[in-house]
Structure 1
């Protein structure tokens, strides 16, 4: 219904054309100019526009068994260049992470020098099915996944703790002994080594712009050819406001 009822005005069509022209160009010729800022007055429909873009980009999304583009193509002329660009973009193996940055950020995060990258890291972790609440747990999950041991670990934990892993990781300190035992069983680490692995991960975990970029690249490299991952962050302007440090952090993430 949302796609069906979306009215594509001449201004929206123009902005869609600008966006998808740049997006398709990046598919054909890799570029480091990958950031897009949607600006407009309060109440002008920026969030709705961003949501519609997320539907159209995401090649994995279906609505009532239909591709999102099928709901809007009748609103364009048959040979419309913008429609052709949208079709070209939607044919790629794209995945979209759409999120409201204010709702994803921790309450006191605006005072952190790495606030923006921490939110993007959280979103990526959740997209992959890893912990969003604890980044160091997600790092452990990713390490296990990269070594082909994640599913074995979850099975071992669930047997030892009699608890689903997704539920158990939310109360990690109550379930620490079970985590350590499962790690030791799956990775062949000693109990002592597994305990040290957990304790050092919790105490020393940090995410930087550079390490996040490497993390994204590792994930993208594991996907099919021509795969693209798009982060669409809503309310970024309101979140950053006049905080120069947050703007710098966003710039570093994009670069």
Structure 2
């Protein structure tokens, strides 16, 4: 008998359901404002009362992002002397911060990884490069580019700039020139790859690291591999015309 008393009756279950239905619209609106994507559809499918909640409360301010505690990669928008973090699911500006003085003026992001950005001046023949961590506001100014690398668009770094003894910045310049800069060194090292690469240095694709090799697709759909450990045979084409029906252009 005691066990039977612990079992919920139909009236008890109905009362609990009524409690959810009778939540104030303000609370339901707040709940809805914290849901993403398909969760909103599930919310509206609960009952007619919840389906009627359409006025979403203003989203709460989000904390400064961290590359370690959020499964979603945050987007960043740079305008003039400010940058804004954007959550890709919530789709609203979450915070706005001032750029360091040396980065103001509308720099272009060329590559991003490990929480760092590789940025250049916006003109076609850029000569100034910076590594910037928007979370810590740390800036690393790189040596000015040699003239034969200034029109390049494919550039990346091999590991986190927080490990300067291991980090190398790589730029694929016009024709067959490939430039290297190890953090802490005063200059760039330029190697001639032995191949004519006019369609590669204007590519809009970021390199993909796989088992120690860097795979890069040019704007005509050809795939090549960059081997930084073998500078005598640093570049090899491995597949041609993977995208045969149209040419891919980098735009700027």
> Same fold per TM (> 0.5)?
no
TM-score (norm 1): 0.24
Instruction: Compare relative contact order (CA 8 Å, sep 6+) and give the higher one, 1 or 2.
Output: 1
Q: Who wins on radius of gyration, i.e. which is larger? A: 2
TM-score (norm 2): 0.24
More strand by share: 2
